[in-house]
Amino acid sequence: MSEDGKVRISKILSERGVCSRREADSYIEKGWVFVDGEPAVLGLKVSPDAVITLDDRASFRQDRSVTILLHKPVGYVSGQPEKGYRPAVALITPENRHRADKSPIEFTPAHLNGLAPAGRLDIDSQGLLIFTQDGRVAKTLIGADSTVEKEYIVRVNGELQAGRLELLNHGLSLDGKKLKPAVVTWLNEDQLKFVLKEGRKRQIRRMCEMVGLEVVGLKRVRVGRVRLSDLPEGRWRYLGEDESF
């Protein structure tokens, strides 16, 4: 916030949950954002309680934004492609759509425009990966103040010494920063369930290494209230109208 208390419009719209900052800037450039009835310009700072409205075209675009659930296989990267590996978004094709998808949405190439992963799974992991065109969804899942749970099934090698399970739940730090409390429990003799509210780089693998365990398999099975369920590996479906994170 500046000394006069004013804030950029894009930040205010993001904080109000209207859209992401990137979307806000795009709407401003198109002339779809108004402050007290006057067209906004990029970089404009206003009072945090200013009356900001959107053109109907911005609302229409948001309503048509899609969110896609993909069962990412091992060997695919979540975001930018790396040498020798394909990005997971390459799996989002008409042929790979799950046959059981009940969404009435008909796939078009436009659904790939601006589609970005809301979170990540490393190349050695599989499971539920969310792609969205909707900045509101992205903010909910990966915003700085996000509290959405992510659940993982983790197969490990090694022996967990006394007191180390408690450390996994709360007490470890990565890169000099303390981790948020987690919920970690045994499912069977070689599988742990992790429930996290953050997603630091290779977090679960690094946490396990710190307590003497080796991760040999990692699968994300839930993001918020949305589960991977029976979505086959390498297949995708649309987020249903009755679903939310």
Q: Which residue has the tokens 């934004």?
A: 65
CA distance 173 to 167: 10
Query: Of 13, 32, 70, whose CA–CA distance to 226 is shortest?
Result: 70
From 55, 101, 122, 190, the catalytic residue = 122
Reported in sequence order, the residue ranges of the chain that DSSP labels E, i.e. its strands, are: 7-8, 33-35, 38-39, 45-46, 52-54, 67-72, 76-77, 86-87, 116-117, 126-132, 150-157, 173-174, 177-178, 183-188, 191-196, 214-223, 226-227, 236-238
Is 145 catalytic? The answer is no
Residues annotated as catalytic are 122
